[in-house]
């Protein structure tokens, strides 16, 4: 179970009564807390005699995209009255190790927290052997990415560096550094024009590296603004060319030729930051905006094609496209909002198809987010 503490407080007494009066096996094994300050041991002490493992999660979005965890111990060496040895929620992940286990699964860990990004049929793996380990000296907030062609895994960090590790040995194959921190998750492109990695930096540039050696193929300044969301690449059949689009934290959306970084078009459809990574439907770029709009712009020129206004529902997340069948015209767009809701709409619709309102304590800001 992954849950916010405030929701746990609402259901804990019900669960306790159920456990106390149940003669059958208790199937709840793990409770993962995220999104708010973790409950202390005093608040959890009534469950310490049941086979439940409590964890505090950390990460960019914690509830679904957590980057590490801390197991809450009720042993004799722990202080049951406070959380002094439970790391503060949101503390930077420093001195991070990138490791690979025998199943070729990537693990990010520090000396106090561990990210196990794989799951077995028996629950979270606890005993694993490491094939290799490398120390990274700054915080990691973006997802690593793997190149099948070169057998390399790429990791970016808050120092503004990108590191390429050999997947089998952990050897650092190459490193490259930008002029500011990187929170953007990189993407990989492999095609006739090259084998490339694309990633934005807070130094206002979109970078294009060669996968094999880290050579900077090109870099472009996107309207003097930091980049948080990942870029997106597509092939334009109208002009027989590849393009990349990226959104920035000053509301700029730019489109560039993938081969050389030359600008095709650049538009500002908002003066507020864009955190959403775009998706593509036909010839349209779909983007969530924190001014409570879901918009579609033309891939050809960046002009606004369609927008759906969602009252008091700022969007920080990225859209998810769901096809009902092979017909591109019958696509649903599903996206989470900061208005405690999940919205589903058809492309070009003037109204949402449905809105699912989640339970939330409106007085706690962090609990309003949907990830």
In a domain? residue 220: no
Tens of pLDDT, residues 48-91: 878 888 888 765 454 555 556 677 877 645 554 455 555 544 34
Please say whether the beta carbons of 226 and 202 come within 8 A: yes
Tens of pLDDT, residues 301-330: 999 999 999 988 899 999 999 887 666 567
Provide the 3-class DSSP secondary structure of residue 44.
Answer: helix
Structure confidence at residue 74 (pLDDT): 74
The structure's pTM equals 0.66
- Helix, strand, coil percentages (3-state) for the chain, rounded to 5, are 5, 40, 55
Q: What does 85-136 look like in DSSP terms, one character per residue?
A: TSPPTT----SEEEEEETTS-EEEE-SS-EEE---BTTBS-----EEEEEEE
Please say whether the beta carbons of 203 and 180 come within 8 A: yes
In a domain? residue 17: yes
Which residue range is the domain that position 17 belongs to? 2-71
Number of domains in the chain: 1
% residues pLDDT > 90 (the chain): 45
β-pairing, 53-59 vs 30-33, is parallel
187 backbone dihedrals φ, ψ, rounded to 5°: -125, 160
Provide the 3-class DSSP secondary structure of residue 194.
Answer: strand
Q: Is the pLDDT reported for residue 190 higher than 80?
A: yes
H/E element holding 19?
helix 5-20
In a domain? residue 36: yes
In a domain? residue 59: yes
In a domain? residue 65: yes
Tens of pLDDT, residues 40-49: 888 888 888 7
In a domain? residue 60: yes
In a domain? residue 51: yes
In a domain? residue 246: no
Confidence of residue 365 (pLDDT cuts 50, 70, 90): very low
């Amino acid at each position: 179970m992954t849950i916010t503490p405030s929701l746990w407080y609402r259901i804990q007494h019900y669960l306790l009564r159920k456990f106390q009066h149940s003669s059958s096996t208790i199937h709840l094994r793990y409770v993962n807390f995220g999104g708010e300050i973790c409950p202390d041991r005093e608040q959890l002490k009534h469950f310490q005699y049941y086979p439940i493992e409590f964890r505090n999660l950390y990460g960019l979005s914690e509830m679904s995209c957590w980057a590490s965890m801390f197991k809450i111990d009720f042993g004799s060496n722990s202080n049951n009255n406070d959380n002094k040895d439970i790391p503060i929620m949101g503390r930077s992940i420093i001195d991070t190790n990138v490791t690979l286990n025998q199943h070729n699964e990537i693990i990010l860990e520090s000396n106090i927290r561990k990210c196990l990004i794989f799951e077995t049929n028996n629950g979270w793996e606890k005993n694993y052997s490491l094939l290799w380990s490398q120390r990274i000296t700054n915080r990691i907030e973006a997802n690593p990415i793997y190149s099948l062609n070169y057998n390399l895994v790429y990791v970016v960090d808050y120092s503004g560096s990108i590191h390429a590790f050999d997947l089998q040995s952990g050897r650092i194959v190459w490193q490259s550094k930008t002029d500011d921190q990187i929170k953007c998750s990189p993407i990989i492109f492999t095609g006739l024009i090259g084998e490339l990695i694309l990633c934005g930096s807070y130094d206002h540039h979109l970078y294009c590296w060669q996968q094999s050696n880290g050579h900077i193929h090109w870099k472009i300044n996107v309207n003097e603004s930091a980049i948080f969301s990942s870029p997106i690449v597509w092939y334009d059949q109208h002009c027989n060319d590849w393009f990349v689009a990226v959104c920035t934290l000053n509301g700029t959306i730019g489109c560039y030729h993938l081969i050389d970084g030359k600008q095709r078009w650049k538009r500002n459809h908002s003066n507020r930051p864009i955190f959403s990574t775009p998706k593509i439907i036909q010839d349209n770029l779909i983007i969530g905006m924190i001014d409570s709009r879901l918009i579609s712009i033309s891939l050809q020129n960046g002009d606004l094609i369609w927008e759906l206004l969602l009252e008091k529902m700022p969007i920080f997340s990225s859209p998810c496209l769901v096809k009902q069948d092979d017909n591109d015209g019958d696509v649903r767009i599903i996206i989470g909002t900061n208005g405690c809701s999940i919205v589903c709409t058809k492309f070009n619709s003037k109204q949402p198809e449905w809105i699912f309102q989640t339970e939330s304590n409106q007085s706690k800001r962090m609990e309003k987010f949907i990830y």
